[in-house]
A and B are shown apart, each in its own frame.
Chain A
Amino acid sequence: NAGVTQTPKFQVLKTGQSMTLQCAQDMNHEYMSWYRQDPGMGLRLIHYSVGAGITDQGEVPNGYNVSRSTTEDFPLRLLSAAPSQTSVYFCASTETGAGANVLTFGAGSRLTVL
């Protein structure tokens, strides 16, 4: 009963480096999403997906890429990291459709870009 698993928990990058934050869920959730959390800004949606092969932009998509080749996985890619991407990143998933579909969150990934 793993829920939503994010890796890594901590990462330090240099400006210009690339990396992928991994997110996997074992609940067969159709909806998956990535948020970043910055002090005073709350959680801002980066990208989301309502099913395999379908992705869409959220509020702050610039500098990030996603793909959804399987229902279980939703990786977030930083192609050329910038200090402005220093943040805590959360992956979350839920079922789609009507109803109280509560997001299940991962534990978060703290990224520092020097």
Chain B
Amino acid sequence: AQKITQTQPGMFVQEKEAVTLDCTYDTSDPSYGLFWYKQPSSGEMIFLIYQGSYDQQNATEGRYSLNFQKARKSANLVISASQLGDSAMYFCAMRGLLQGGSEKLVFGKGMKLTVNP
């Protein structure tokens, strides 16, 4: 079974500082993908970054990077130079990538990031 764990209920960071949001996972799929989504107070779900389990390098998208440690089963999101607009809920998610595997996308409980001026 797939499981995503986000243990930090909330974090506070000063504007322009870097912040790491934790995510650990468990799966029996040999090939899987990890995703991070952002949900601002307006409610929409915004895709941030993706990491495939066989990708050799950590994914980066602008100010977002994913610190992927496969042996530790962790996929932490790093936001560099936080901005006020980064204040939101953040969700880690996972799905299997092989046909016949766990194609459903499962989310963690999320964590709330607040960026202070």
Pair from one complex = yes
Measured CB to CB, the closest approach of chain B to A107, in angstroms, equals 6
Interface 1/0 per residue, B1-25 and A, CB below 8 Å: 0000010010000000000000000
User: Once bound together, how far apart are the Cα atoms of A23 and B47, in whole Å?
Assistant: 20
User: Once the chains bind, are A96 and B103 in contact (CB under 8 Å)?
Assistant: yes
Measured CB to CB, the closest approach of chain B to A33, in angstroms, equals 7
Task: Say whether, besides A41-B109, A42-B109, A100 and B50 are in contact (CB < 8 Å).
Answer: yes
Which of A48, A96, A97, A102 gathers most chain B CB within 10 Å?
A102
Q: Does any Cβ of A come within 8 Å of B81's Cβ?
A: no
Task: Say whether, besides A102-B35, A102-B47, A105-B45, A42 and B99 are in contact (CB < 8 Å).
Answer: no
How many chain A residues touch B (Cβ–Cβ < 8 Å)? 29
Q: Is the interface of B mostly helix, strand, loop or mixed?
A: loop
Nearest neighbor of B46 in chain A, beta-carbon distance? A105
Q: Which residues of chain A are near B109, meaning CB under 8 Å?
A: 40-42
User: Once the chains bind, are A42 and B104 in contact (CB under 8 Å)?
Assistant: no
Interface 1/0 per residue, A44-87 and B, CB below 8 Å: 11001010000010110000000000000000000000000000
User: Once the chains bind, are A45 and B91 in contact (CB under 8 Å)?
Assistant: no
User: Once the chains bind, are B33 and A100 in contact (CB under 8 Å)?
Assistant: yes
Chain A to chain B contacts (Cβ below 8 Å), 29 pairs = A33-B104, A33-B105, A40-B9, A40-B109, A41-B109, A42-B6, A42-B91, A43-B91, A44-B107, A45-B106, A45-B107, A50-B103, A58-B104, A59-B106, A90-B45, A92-B105, A94-B105, A96-B99, A97-B97, A98-B31, A98-B97, A99-B33, A99-B52, A100-B33, A100-B50, A102-B35, A103-B47, A107-B44, A108-B44
| Chain B residues packing against A (C-beta within 8 Å) | 6, 9, 31, 33, 35, 37, 43-45, 47, 50, 52, 91, 93, 97-99, 103-110
